Amino acid sequence: MIELQNIDFSYYGQDGSGLHDVNLTIHDGECILLCGCSGCGKTTITRLINGLIPRFYPGEVKGTVLINGKNVNDFPMYELAEHIGSVFQNPRTQFFNVDSNSEIAFGLENEARPPKELQERVDTTIKDLEIQNLCNRSLHELSGGEKQKIAFASVYAMNPDIYLLDEPSSNLDMDAIKDLQEHLRLIKKQGKTILIAEHRLYYLMDIVDRIIFLEQGEIKGIYTPKEFQKIPDKKRKAMRLRAADLSAIHSENSQSTQANPVLELKNVSMFYKKRAILENINLSAGFGEVIGIVGHNGAGKTTLARALCGLHKNTKGNFFWDGQPQDRKQRLKCSYMVMQDVNYELFANSVKTECYFGIRNPDETLIESTMEKLGLTPYKDKHPNTLSGGQKQRVAVAVSMICKKELLVFDEPTSGLDYDSMAQVAGLVKELASMGKIIFIVTHDYEFVCRTCTRVLHVDHGEQCEDILVSPTKENKMKKLFSIQ
């Protein structure tokens, strides 16, 4: 049993953040969903339970956290790690090895398991989770979704009593989310206690026992899945929560034809070392188009995005801009990419400074208005690394607008975003499109695609599969592509 009794917590140097008067009891074998907007306290609760607060995230704590009747602060960290397994929002932050099998075995090695038992447990994990295709792979070669699977496997191998998962679906494609559903059902059947902090809610409705809604660090509601699904759409959006049923989402695109081509790719292939990632890509895009790039984890979506921006060097084929050949350096000059792991592109010591970092003659009015549109003004003097994952995403999106490039590429821009933040990013993408930008978005987010995209480019198995115009008449085809019943 997990008990949070009269918890008040605030991070040092972050006024207003944390938790206020939180009381929550989680029984053994329960599956609990923590939901609410970015920064509402979901991750903070998981950090209190696994002991990262206050050991690694200092702050002022009042109240008590009990694990099976014992104060969590009385457990040495190694003992907590035996009972509690954590899967972080960014799996890269919990890796200690360079290959997948060693990473799965890492926790077991630290428990000094005998070699035979260790190998048996790794083999069982790979079989149970059906990740044979990820065996003996370099972690550096894996996609974000594949890394997430390895992070989950490394926890599963240790067989903890309690699982804490922070945004586990944020980097996963639709099929991988179905795999995650099965993994959650598996550990729930094993009697494990599960806490999931999540923005994407639809895939959990038939798994969780209770849904805890948090707002500004306080518990504002506790629901059963049936009660939660009865919340009116208008109220759910006001709560800044994502859809609980994707089948009810419809396309908002009214564009019926493609724009005149400005950017063209002809017979473009991309390689990693000598291995072909994608071959013979042919596409065109015009000003004002918003093109979603979709496909399975590891299909080459990010590689294509990087090639469009000139960031991926190993390519063959021809790129054209306004009919003129375009080399890699020219692509770098006219494009901007918001990376999937946003931490790679945050350099400044405040949000406002980040918004004009590296930009000559920045437009102060544009900076202020962009921060206001994305809800970043209250954080303008804060260090970007003190923000939540969703807030960091918004900072990177703000920079993309301020830098005034013609081609903008977003890699999973809604990863870790609540409904309100997703809607704000969607609004910004539409505004950028109305300004005549060409926009590509690597995404698994059907709700976001329906709000923003004019076309969807489907890549899989090393090739270009489909190029679909997003419209109400293509809705069934879109739902089939995203595996929505």
Q: What is the tens place of the pLDDT at every residue in 346-376?
A: 899 999 999 988 888 888 999 999 999 888 9
User: Which residue has tokens 């140097």?
Assistant: 13
Output the pLDDT for position 157.
92
For 48-60, write each residue's pLDDT tens digit. 999 999 898 888 9
In this prediction, residues 148-158 reach a mean pLDDT of 91
Angle at 138 between CA 137 and CA 143, to 5 degrees: 90
Q: In percent, how much of the chain has pLDDT > 90?
A: 52
Superfamily of domain 263-481: P-loop containing nucleotide triphosphate hydrolases (3.40.50.300)
Output the pLDDT for position 221.
94
Count helices and strands in the chain by DSSP H and E runs: 17, 20
Maximum mean pLDDT: which of 194-198, 393-397, 434-438 = 194-198
Task: Say what the alpha-carbon torsion angle 70, 75, 78, 79 is, to the nearest 10 degrees.
Answer: -30
Sign of CA dihedral 64, 65, 68, 73: negative
Can you tell me whether residue 197 is helix, strand or coil?
strand
Q: What is the mean pLDDT of the chain?
A: 89
Residue 420 has pLDDT above 90, yes or no: no
What are residue 466's DSSP bridge partners? Answer: 458
Residue 425 has pLDDT above 90, yes or no: no
In 123-262, the DSSP E strands lie at 162-166, 193-197, 210-215, 218-223
Task: State how far the Cα of 305 lies from the Cα of 324, in Å rounded to an integer.
Answer: 20
Other Cβ atoms within 10 Å of 365 Cβ, number = 8
Q: Which of 85, 82, 84, 110 is nearest to 96 (CA)?
A: 110
Fold of 2-244: Rossmann fold (3.40.50)
Question: Which of these ranges, 216-220, 235-239, 402-406, has the smallest mean pLDDT?
Answer: 402-406
Output the pLDDT for position 30.
96
Q: What are the distances in angstroms from CA 151 to CA 39, 296, 378? A: 23, 18, 34
For 373-403, write each residue's pLDDT tens digit. 888 999 999 999 888 766 887 888 888 888 8
Q: Which of 412, 471, 406, 420 is nearest to 445 (CA)?
A: 412
For 305-321, write each residue's pLDDT tens digit. 999 999 999 999 999 99
Maximum mean pLDDT: which of 36-40, 89-93, 195-199 = 195-199
Can you tell me whether residue 232 is helix, strand or coil?
coil
Output the pLDDT for position 95.
87
pTM score: 0.82
Output the pLDDT for position 15.
64
Confidence of residue 187 (pLDDT cuts 50, 70, 90): very high
Output the pLDDT for position 71.
93
List, as one string, the DSSP characters of 245-289.
Answer: -GGG--------SPPPPSEEEEEEEEEETTEEEEEEEEEEE-TT-
Output the pLDDT for position 212.
96
Confidence of residue 255 (pLDDT cuts 50, 70, 90): low
The values of phi and psi at residue 294, to 5°, are -125, 165
Confidence of residue 248 (pLDDT cuts 50, 70, 90): confident
For 258-291, write each residue's pLDDT tens digit. 778 999 999 999 998 888 999 999 999 999 999 9
For 107-131, write each residue's pLDDT tens digit. 888 888 888 999 999 999 999 998 9
For 59-88, write each residue's pLDDT tens digit. 899 999 999 999 999 998 888 888 999 988
Residue 171 has pLDDT above 80, yes or no: no
Output the pLDDT for position 381.
93
Task: State how far the Cα of 206 lies from the Cα of 229, in Å rounded to an integer.
Answer: 11
Task: State how far the Cα of 66 lies from the Cα of 313, in Å rounded to an integer.
Answer: 52
Whether residue 91 has a cis bond before it, omega within 30° of 0: no
The domain spans of the chain are 2-244, 263-481
Output the pLDDT for position 16.
61
Buried b (16+ CB within 10 A) or exposed e, 459-469: bbeeebeeebb
The values of phi and psi at residue 223, to 5°, are -130, 150
